[in-house]
Amino acid sequence: MTGQNVVVVESPAKAKTINKYLGSDYYVLASYGHIRDLPPKDGSVQPDADFAMEWEVDGRAKKRIDEIAKACKGAKALFLATDPDREGEAISWHIQEELTKRKVLAPISVQRVVFNEITKSAVTNAMANPRDLNKELIDAYLARRALDYLVGFTLSPVLWRKLPGAKSAGRVQSVALRLICEREAEIEAFKPREYWSIDAQLAAADGTPFAARLTHLNGKKLDKFDLGDKSAAETALAAVRSGGHQVQAVERKQVKRHPAPPFTTSTLQQEASRKLYFGATKTMTLAQKLYEGIQLGGEAVGLITYMRTDSTTMSGEAIAAARGMIEDVYGSDYLPSGPRQYRTKAKNAQEAHECIRPTSMRRRPEDVARYLEPDQRKLYELIWKRAVACQMESATLDQVAVDIDTADKSARLRASGSVVRFDGFLTLYIESEDDKDDEDKEGGRLPDLKEGDRPGLLNADANQHFTQPPPRFTEASLVKRMEELGIGRPSTYASILKVLQDREYVRLDKRRFQPEDRGRLVTAFLSSFYDKYFDYAFTAGLEEQLDDISGGRIDWKTVLRDFWKAFRGITDKAMELTGQEVREKIDAVLGPHFFPPDEKGDTEAARKCPSCGNGRLSLNFGRYGAFITCSNYPDCKLTRNLDEAGNLNGDSPDATEYPRLLGIDPETGLDVAVRQGPYGYYVQLGEAEKDAKGKTKTKPKRASLLKTMEPSTIDLETALRLLSLPRLLGDHPESKLPVAAGIGRFGPYLKHGDAYVSLPKDDDVLTIGLNRAVTVLAEAGPKGKGRASVAKELGPHPSDGKPISLGSGRFGPYVKHGNIYASIPRGTEPDAVTLEQAIELIAAKAAKKAAGKSAGPKQSGAKKAAAKKSTAKKSAAKKAKSKKSKAKKAPARKAS
């Protein structure tokens, strides 16, 4: 790109839009996000080398950085225009570091530009005002990345060894998981409390009905639980029905309700969840598209400002545009005398940016609706309304409270209501709330009542209520709680919630989070042995330190040193824990969950073994996770998976009916039964064959039940279909390789040649056909979730006619012939590999394999001899040490 200026952004959509704005003197290309990361292996962060960090260019990003490096050769200048936040600064830093390493930056200047919106004026203004990379923001990124890596790669091995079945843990994700688990424990421990209310229907003199509630009885103001049972409620009801009701006081006041500030990342996620039922990930994906640009009449235009921000600040230009539009569309009554200014208390790096708002207030939702997909339109409308409403006049409400006494003054009722006198911003936008109590809701309009009026009693009822447990978290309320506690950063919330669900630590049920038992086990372990590091206050304090790094107030390595020294010590102690110590601690923490207490609060009744009658049930751990077992093992062989723990001594027939015979397999004549093991339910064909010594000779065929299946309703037909898996669906129309469906350790899957792809939740492994399977495989792509490799046939091998196939596996693309796998060299596009090239690669690999085998026996013999010699030396040394020890101890024994 000789003589041109090179501009690097993150996404190709953004690159296309910006290229139009800047013209032919600039060449804009995309990095596609991060180009480097810490390799997922031990040693990528080295605490003993002052936290040196080893970076690796991602395989998929190599092509991108090659293109950037090529573009920079002969260029006038390099402008790094990645996103305007801490992560964007880090991406620019990685690009600069990698290009410096390749020695392509020496003759050209490197500058950083940021723009909060992708409009022509914003982009050209940013290009005219470049700056250097911000060292403090980069240091904050490095500190966060190092902390997350050290916690993950130090803690996860502890979990794998001490808590079988646990997948991994993260510095912030585990604290979010703790919030969900502790809320669930509150719900389980909650004891509902009874209370009553007296509600009356009265009518004014003109016949207009209105509602009132008893607030005072016999001169005493009633608290929530003063009417605690039916008897007390009936006494109060009689007082209300005694008649002679008269208005004693009327209180009127006018209040103003002010608009909410414009959106930040957190509040956008919350409102999109409440109003649109969008998850945090979906909200951020849609917002990203609106930010990067939408085609409006042939031109790509960014519709909103940058969507990762903690700031509620709005630029003066945007405020002026909003005020002008409000006056034109809604009139001067809806325009406050001066602009509204909002400030946020957040003090991290993203505070420097604006709020989330439309790039043009005049671009109304109805004007762009035809260019947007339905969900994009809904989100844009939400952002537009909030941004405009925040500059509108406050709403004015008249609130009225009326006290009404009975004739004997024994009971006082209160009627309350509010009337909107001027709707102000409410004409455009009303903010939603989570889990608002019915008692907190404002009443409607009341009739015009005056002191001395005598309304008539139409009806009065005593209503029973019970206190409710705290509600489970929705995505909105969890994000709000995390922000209140200072845990994580709003820009990371979407990924945190996704990780918790992907690891199957939590699930969303009716839009509310429920912890899985696996998640509760991890939380119990961390809160028992790493309590300080997953404490809310500690995590929030660490976030403040990261903010201090980004503000240049503290050195990033000082933060790492202080954290690591103590964390390493705790981890060393955790690795010394015995299995029994872990079991006992977690069993004590989660006992009330798995063995619910009776009315007296005693959990021991639920722990009594229903099989042997005198054993005590408790948690145990096997290779694949936790399960329930009896203390009399091995005499009592009762085991249950965790899902059945609460029903072991209950009324559920599932507690004792397994194995349950379903019928006879018509092909083999063997019994088919549904059974229960430590890790769940399964169906089994026949019984294990044993030899004369009682050892298992052949194992019966088994198949796990799907998560959606109820073991109590499984029938013979379904069981036989499960046992028939994996089933062949047919040959793939393009690769001609067989496609099969089955169930594995990680759930239902499709097998295509050597490829395994997880089956989507909406598809049934028992009924899926070839056409749908081909679609699923295509959607998964060559690197789809759960895919080991994706093969396609190149042609027959000339030696034996067997097919040569092309695939992509764990270690990269390869060609395969029989049992020979030959890696495709780096820099070679897999799709460009010809049959002739594949034959050469396979021949080279076969020759290498043959050479290795011929050299193998000599090498193996040498190794065996060396090992034998080493073992002999160790044995001799051990015997000598033993004799020396006995010689020392002998006199002492003699003297005694």
Active site residues: 306
Q: How many CB atoms lie within 10 A of CB 799?
A: 10
Q: For residues 608 and 604, give the distance between their C-alpha atoms in angstroms, rounded to a whole number.
A: 7
| CA-CA-CA-CA torsion sign (799, 803, 807, 809) | negative
Cβ-Cβ contacts under 8 Å for 164 (sequence gap 6 or more): 621, 622, 623, 624, 625, 626
Strands 26-30 and 5-9: parallel
Q: At what angle do helices 12-22 and 280-292 cross, to 10 degrees?
A: 20
Using alpha carbons only, give the angle 334, 335, 337 rounded to the nearest 5 degrees: 135
CA dihedral defined by 872, 875, 876, 881, rounded to 10 degrees? 160
Handedness of CA 880, 882, 887, 888 (dihedral sign): positive
Give the number of C-alpha atoms closer than 13 A to the C-alpha of residue 743, restricted to the C-beta side.
20
State how far the alpha carbon of 716 is from the alpha carbons of 419, 655, 727, 895, in Å. 64, 21, 18, 77
Report which secondary-structure segment, H or E, holds 87.
helix 86-101
Q: Residue ranges of the alpha helices (H) in 754-834?
A: 770-780
Q: Which residues fall within 8 angstroms of residue 251, CB to CB, at 6 or more apart?
A: 400, 401, 402
Q: Residue 614: CB partners within 8 Å, gap ≥ 6?
A: 608, 632
CA distance to 287, 345, 492, 811, per residue, from 348 (Å): 21, 9, 14, 39
- Per the omega criterion (within 30 degrees of 0), is the bond before 796 cis? no
C-alpha–C-alpha distance, residues 724 and 190, integer Å: 46
277-302 in b/e form (b: 16+ CB < 10 A) is ebbbbbbbebbbbbbbbbeeeeebbb
Q: How far is CA 198 from CA 18, 462, 722, 831, in A?
A: 66, 5, 58, 76
Determine contact, residues 462/228, Cβ cutoff 8 Å. Answer: no
To the nearest 10 degrees (0 to 180), the angle between helices 135-162 and 556-575 is 0
Token pair in block for residue 769: 């056909």
Q: Are the CB atoms for 349 and 550 separated by under 8 Å? A: yes
In angstroms, the Cα distances linking 710 to 507, 643, 657, 707, 713 are 18, 12, 14, 8, 6
Query: Cα separation of 618 and 155, whole Å?
Result: 25
Long-range contacts of residues 95-104, Cβ cutoff 8 Å, at least 24 apart:
95/8, 95/31, 95/35, 95/65, 95/68, 96/133, 97/36, 97/55, 98/35, 98/36, 98/57, 98/65, 99/65, 99/68, 99/69, 99/72, 102/69, 104/69, 104/72, 104/73
Token pair, residue 770, equals: 């070839």
